[in-house]
Structure 1
Amino acid sequence: MSAQRKDDHVRLAMEQQHAHSGRNQFDEVSFVHHALAGIDRPDVSLATSFAGISWRAPLYINAMTGGSAKTGAINRDLAIAARESGVAIASGSMHAYFRDPSCADTFRVLRRENPDGFVLANVNATASVDDARRAVDLLRADALQIHLNTAQETAMPEGDRSFGSWGPQIGKIVAAVGVPVIVKEVGNGLSRQTVQALRDLGVQAADLSGRGGTDFARIENGRRELADYAFLHGWGQSTAACLLDAQDVGLPVLASGGVRDPLDVARALALGARAVGSSGGFLRTLLEGGVPALVARITTWLDQLAALQTMLGARTPADLVHCDLLIQGALRSFCADRGIDTRRLARRSGCGEVLHETTGGRR
């Protein structure tokens, strides 16, 4: 049943990809254009670092799948694409491996095909400390993702209904696994209060993974005989909203969920993410065009991100947090209700330093 569920997830996720309207709240974030802010392309670096982790680019292939023969083949291809493009990669939930060790190779292939890359293992918040260590050991993982998915579990016919132990268990895993721990949502977002709680548990980073990409509550509802949990479709906050909500919490944040192109990557970085992940869009590219198409897409994204940094005057991805941003629409209303001052984002002026120098310091 677990293998069939994994295959169902891929099928239903692809149906969502084809049905997406194409718009999400990243469209309510725009850069203020400073025409003299540009720098020289050779001065631009894509390198990023957070929580003692250093990546050559602020982009990663986020958690997707594993646990069946079909999804094992997908993981193999994803690992090859990560190796060829030089980006980090996370496994899908390894709970299936804990229940059935015979499916280990559907996850282990991520390391076999990508022996020198940065690989993250992935477990849920109910995993025992021993299972978390097994996951890390199986992949020789450089870090561990723990995913939070209460909306998905609620809609899942066979899902968990006991969530009270998740926080304390995360703390135990963090203290025991010996690699950095990144806690992520699966598409419903992490609120400011949640990020603060994760910081206090000793987590090294949080992947906000907001609404706008694959909707796992919708996927699980699609597996229900009566599809009677449709009221959970679209639950949670968007990735852009979560990034605004989590500013200045004191924990490095990553962004995923609804990332469609290099401009969304730049927007997320400008809103404070240290790196940006994609799942559904990359999976669709892989299934439709194979490994060469996915490698080409990731490579193009990285080149276009460097072009955006050049135009915006950001020598590193981290420098994008100094760029002036305009927040509009429903996202601005969210900020008003949550007490977030969007005006300061429009006046950060870091991307205008070249203009400042060119005019001799006059404003």
Structure 2
Amino acid sequence: MTAHRKDEHVQLAHAQYAPGNRTAPPGAPPPASQFDEVHFVHHALAGTDREKVSLETRFAGLHWPVPLYINAMTGGSAKTGEINRDLAIAARETGLPIATGSMSPYLKDPGTAPTFTPVRREHPDGFVLANLNATATPEQARRAVGLLRADALQIHLNTVQETVMPEGDRSFGHWASGIERIVSAVEVPVIVKEVGFGLSGRTVRELASLGVRIADVAGSGGTDFARIENGRRSRPDYAYLEGWGLSTPAALLDARGCGLPLLASGGVRHPLDVARALALGAGAVGASGPYLTTLLDGGVDALVRHITTWLDQLTALMTLLGAHSPAELADCDVLLSGSLREFRLDRGLTTAAAKGVTV
């Protein structure tokens, strides 16, 4: 049953990125992304020399070769094990950190371990993140980290997904205390992420009080798990929840300065969105849907080319903007417009966002 559900998730997530599925009907404007409301101010003499630009990324005590990572996707079935293997090969070839999908299937059935272990086997010297939900016990968290010799543990928060999922959890009140117990039980950093509905500043402050090391805001705009789970229902009932939550740019604005270093994922479409997220205060930026689609449509070599192109173009953008490191993008002048500008003003965030941001 779990394996079938995991295969369904991949199929439905892939379908969201199929031509025509992420656009409006003919004649209507395309769906808006709040990333497009983040604008770099062009300074014609700000550029630097490309050889002076480095993608090396340091934040929260971590050192990554690049400010990109392959975020959590899948695992738990034979097919998804092959996907994890191929994602890990691409991560190894490009230097990206990589997270597994939720390892709950392994905790229920140790026989599914081979669908997750290829991530470490194929990326032996890379940064690997195990992934669990907030209902895992401390002992289960240690098992998951140990299986992969993981460098960090992601805990995903997915109340919206669980609400729409036909067989989903309906009890969320103990999640905070569960996270605190896991943090105390494992020896690696704990990173808490959403699954595409965004972390607010209030949530990040609470996570900081629980001992969490890093927060991945993981906003809306990418793979929509409300839509995925609604598609699995015998009678779709929750279509009105599609698009729920905070976008990644809005979550970054809301959560910056709330006590934790931030990662950004959700709705990242291209290298300019990566640069925008870094400018809004993210330490690094993750993607899932675009990479999964490239892998399923073109194979490992196509995914390696895709990621390599993103890294090359991100370096070019940093050269244009005069940022010698990913962290220096937060010093660039940025303007906000439209609904994102209104969100910032409505939330009273006029002094809490990135250094160079202007409304």
Give the alignment's TM-score, normalised by structure 2.
Answer: 0.95
- State the Cα distance separating 1:308 from its structure 2 match: 0.6
Q: Distance in 1 between matches of 2:337 and 2:224?
A: 24
- State the Cα distance separating 1:51 from its structure 2 match: 2.1
> Are 1:111 and 2:120 matched, yes or no?
yes
Q: 1:257 aligns with which of 230, 248, 266?
A: 266
> Are 1:9 and 2:18 matched, yes or no?
no
Q: Tell me the residue number matched to 1:131.
A: 140
Q: Tell me the residue number matched to 2:173.
A: 164
Q: Which 5+ residue runs of structure 1 have no aligned equivalent?
A: 350-363
Please state whether the residue corresponding to 2:117 is helix, strand or coil: helix
Q: Tell me the residue number matched to 1:291.
A: 300
- State the Cα distance separating 1:146 from its structure 2 match: 0.2
Q: Tell me the residue number matched to 2:237.
A: 228
Q: 2:345 aligns with which of 311, 336, 346?
A: 336
- State the Cα distance separating 1:250 from its structure 2 match: 2.6
- State the Cα distance separating 1:235 from its structure 2 match: 0.8
Contact 2:9-2:228 at 8 Å conserved across structures: yes
Alignment of 1:1-363 (within 5 A): 1-18=1-18, 19-21=21-23, 23-341=32-350
Of 22-31 and 8-17, deviating more is 22-31
Q: Distance in 2 between matches of 1:248 and 1:41?
A: 31
Please state whether the residue corresponding to 2:76 is helix, strand or coil: coil
- State the Cα distance separating 1:343 from its structure 2 match: 11
Matched letter for residue 133 of structure 2: N
Q: Distance in 1 between matches of 2:143 and 2:357?
A: 45
Identity %: 67
Q: Tell me the residue number matched to 1:360.
A: none
Deviation sequence 1:153-188 (CA, Å, 0-9, x none): 000000000001100110111111100000000000
Contact 2:145-2:153 at 8 Å conserved across structures: yes
Matched letter for residue 20 of structure 1: R
- State the Cα distance separating 1:342 from its structure 2 match: 7.6
Matched letter for residue 309 of structure 1: M
- State the Cα distance separating 1:217 from its structure 2 match: 1.1
Of 143-152 and 332-341, deviating more is 332-341
Q: Distance in 2 between matches of 1:219 and 1:264?
A: 24
**How many residues are treated as equivalent by the alignment?**
349
Q: Which 5+ residue runs of structure 2 have no aligned equivalent?
A: 24-30
Q: Distance in 2 between matches of 1:110 and 1:118?
A: 10
Q: Distance in 2 between matches of 1:136 and 1:347?
A: 38
Contact 2:254-2:353 at 8 Å conserved across structures: no
Contact 1:75-1:107 at 8 Å conserved across structures: yes
Where do 4+ consecutive residues of structure 1 move more than 3 Å? 342-349
Q: Distance in 1 between matches of 2:154 and 2:3?
A: 21
Q: Distance in 2 between matches of 1:143 and 1:185?
A: 16
Contact 1:335-1:342 at 8 Å conserved across structures: no
Deviation sequence 1:110-154 (CA, Å, 0-9, x none): 011111111000000000001111100011100000000000000
